Amino acid sequence: MGKEQSAYCIALEQLENASERLDLEPGIHDILKVPKRSLIVSVTIRMDDGDIGVFSGCRVQHMDARGPFKGGIRYHPDVTLDEVTALAMWMTWKCAVVDIPYGGAKGGITCNPKQMSRTELERLTRRYTSMIYDFIGPYRDVPAPDVYTDSQTMAWIMDTYGQIRGYSVPECVTGKPISIGGSEGRTEATSLGVDICAREAAKKTNLKLKGATVAVQGFGNVGWNAAKIVHDWGAKVIAVSDSMGGIHNPNGLNPYDVYEHKLKTGSVVGYKDSKKITNEEVLETKCDILIPAALENQINKTNADKVQAKIVAEGANGPTTPDADAVLCEKGTLLIPDILANAGGVTVSYYEWVQNLERDHWPLEEVNQKLETKIVKAFNDVYNMSKKNKCDMRNAALTLGVGRVADAIKTLGLWP
């Protein structure tokens, strides 16, 4: 699906459109087209069977004009430098859209974590950390979890960083377990942000959230928590999926029970009272709100016209291709782009970093209240810009984000 255009090509096309709308000086556009720094590393570890495993990894730092680099680390067989570069660029715009003082980065290792033991993953993480050590740090570049990495991965990064440095530095990474400086609410933050955006979009389209039908692609951290929260708010989750396939029940699924089922069996597939459907069918399910929360390029020119949802809230990064954007816009679908919809994660990561720097720990209510204020403001900023510029929400968000970063670059000037 969607192999025709790489993620970085899509990111460049989006940047070009935003630059034109903003009438950016060509030199500023040239600066933004390429990452400030890309580090490629070969991560070598001893496997459990005694063999040597060699894995390709990278850390891409796109732009830090508004603050230290920030972005997740992904472990997946399909990780490429191209994909990580696109994700780093999207992080730059995302931090600017929600107006937090960070630049964009991303990291990844090409590996299959599902076929690796916990001890192999720990060695992989520690070795990778040691290899990017010189380029990360609390005022330099602050990693976080992404696909198939989690709070335990962040704990190993924090420990490795601290061991090399000689003292504990909790603020070197976010998305940590609460026991070592993680923030309340970080695990659910991305999903809460997605659902807040979907709720605000529902208000704009006169859709009642209570009883609204929801389909979620991907049942990992973002997808499962988004399903759980929107279910708690009274919406009806009728379809979910993971890498093994999807399930559907028009009368509603209980996300908590589906989660238990996945914990026991490894997949949502096979859950009682549900019909097995394909991942494609999840995206095409008749529903009010669709939350793609898996990987890139899932809604593309082959299936965009079959998407029936009124609102699409992008939990994943880059799930919709530009071709598909055009189709959805034409159909009148209200699409909330990734750089706004899933910005709740980096927002609470920022709150975690601030708490760590201040050696403080805020209660959950305070974190969630701050997140709510931030996301609602960003949603309205983007929505109002889309009305003012007569464009879709993606173009509005990109214009807002790229414009803020370009302003910072111009204000800082060039050294020397």
Catalytic positions, written as ranges? 106
Measured from the CB atom, is 106 or 406 closer to ligand NAD?
Answer: 106
Indicate whether 220 belongs to the interface with ligand NAD (CB under 6 A). Answer: yes
Cβ at position 76, least distance to ligand NAD in Å: 8
Measured from the CB atom, is 55 or 75 closer to ligand NAD?
Answer: 75
Contacts of 38 (CB under 8 A, 6+ apart): 58, 59, 60, 61, 81, 85
Indicate whether 104 belongs to the interface with ligand NAD (CB under 6 A). Answer: no
Cβ at position 188, least distance to ligand NAD in Å: 9
Give the 3-state secondary structure of the chain. CCCCCCHHHHHHHHHHHHHHHHCCCHHHHHHHHCCCEEEEEEEEEECCCCCEEEEEEEEEEEECCCCCEEEEEEEECCCCHHHHHHHHHHHHHHHHHCCCCCEEEEEEEECCHHHCCHHHHHHHHHHHHHHHHHHCECCCEEEEECCCCCHHHHHHHHHHHHHHHCCCCHHHCCCCCHHHCCCCCHHHHHHHHHHHHHHHHHHHCCCCCCCCEEEEECCCHHHHHHHHHHHHCCCEEEEEEECCEEEECCCCCCHHHHHHHHHHHCCCCCCCCCEEECHHHHHCCCCCEEEECCCCCCECCCCHHHCCCCEEECCCCCCECHHHHHHHHHHCCEEECHHHHCCHHHHHHHHHHHHHHCCCCCCHHHHHHHHHHHHHHHHHHHHHHHHHCCCCHHHHHHHHHHHHHHHHHHHHCCCC
Taking CB under 6 A as the criterion, the residue among 293, 336, 382, 405 binding ligand NAD is 293
160-219 binders of ligand NAD (CB under 6 A) = 190, 217-219
Indicate whether 395 belongs to the interface with ligand NAD (CB under 6 A). Answer: no
Question: Given the rule CB under 6 A, which of 5-13, 26-34, 116-124, 141-149 is the region that contacts ligand NAD?
Answer: 141-149
Indicate whether 145 belongs to the interface with ligand NAD (CB under 6 A). Answer: yes
Measured from the CB atom, is 352 or 406 closer to ligand NAD?
Answer: 352
Measured from the CB atom, is 100 or 295 closer to ligand NAD?
Answer: 295
Question: Given the rule CB under 6 A, which of 7-15, 25-33, 293-301, 323-331 is the region that contacts ligand NAD?
Answer: 293-301
Q: Which residue is nearest to ligand NAD (CB)?
A: 220
Indicate whether 146 belongs to the interface with ligand NAD (CB under 6 A). Answer: yes
222-251 binders of ligand NAD (CB under 6 A) = 222-223, 241-243
329-358 binders of ligand NAD (CB under 6 A) = 342, 345
Taking CB under 6 A as the criterion, the residue among 71, 182, 315, 403 binding ligand NAD is 315
Instruction: Name residue 392's amino acid.
Output: D
Indicate whether 8 belongs to the interface with ligand NAD (CB under 6 A). Answer: no
Question: Given the rule CB under 6 A, which of 292-300, 356-364, 391-399, 403-411 is the region that contacts ligand NAD?
Answer: 292-300
Indicate whether 148 belongs to the interface with ligand NAD (CB under 6 A). Answer: yes
Question: Given the rule CB under 6 A, which of 52-60, 158-166, 197-205, 312-320 is the region that contacts ligand NAD?
Answer: 312-320
Measured from the CB atom, is 15 or 215 closer to ligand NAD?
Answer: 215
Which stretches of the chain bind ligand NAD, using CB under 6 A?
A: 145-148, 190, 217-223, 241-243, 279, 293-295, 315-317, 342, 345
